[in-house]
């Protein structure tokens, strides 16, 4: 009896979750479910041109955009500096030894991955951009008030 009640509760919560999400094509759902098996907190949004899944994978907030055929358009991940590729991390820490990595936004589109890194010290923020090879470029500098 407990198993039956638990099954009903799970079914009811699944139906409620599906009722709040946009109508995602079966093709896109199939691609997503085959690619990402152990994700949590999945939510979907859609536009006329794409679907976007937001979720956590290995405790990393992630967003993936798909076209209507199930092809990945771009991925965005948010994490701390310790998860940067070693080549990027070593170049950032060597060039900006006086600053701490506050956060990273990783953007992958097509075959290109870029890392938007926010650095900070006591008086300023510096936003830099890196490609996968560790070529660094300053995007913005801000003074803390």
Report the greatest alpha carbon distance in the chain: 63
If we measure between CA atoms, which residue out of 130, 126, 134 comes closest to residue 96? 126
If we measure between CA atoms, which residue out of 83, 77, 43, 49 comes closest to residue 63? 77
pLDDT at residue 145 in the model: 87
- Distance (Å, rounded) from C-alpha 73 to C-alpha 136? 24
- At residue 132, the 3 state secondary structure works out as coil
Residues 6+ apart with CB under 8 A from 25: 51, 68, 70
Domains of the chain: 24-143 (3.10.450.360)
Tens digits of pLDDT across the chain (145 residues):
444 343 433 343 333 333 345 689 999 999 999 999 889 999 999 999 999 999 999 999 999 999 999 999 999 999 999 999 999 999 999 999 999 999 999 999 999 999 999 999 999 999 999 999 999 999 999 999 8
């Amino acid at each position: 009896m407990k198993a039956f009640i638990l099954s009903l509760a799970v079914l009811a919560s699944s139906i409620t979750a599906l009722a709040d999400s946009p109508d995602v094509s079966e093709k896109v759902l199939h691609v997503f479910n085959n690619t990402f098996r152990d994700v949590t907190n999945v939510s979907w949004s859609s536009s006329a041109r794409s679907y976007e899944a937001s979720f956590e994978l290995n405790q990393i907030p992630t967003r993936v955009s798909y076209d209507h055929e199930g092809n990945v358009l771009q991925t965005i991940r948010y994490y701390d500096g310790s998860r940067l590729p070693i080549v990027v991390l070593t170049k950032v820490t060597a060039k900006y030894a006086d600053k701490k990595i506050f956060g990273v936004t990783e953007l992958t589109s097509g075959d290109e991955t870029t890392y938007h890194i926010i650095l900070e010290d006591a008086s300023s923020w510096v936003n830099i951009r890196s490609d996968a090879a560790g070529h660094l470029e300053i995007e913005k500098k801000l003074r803390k008030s």
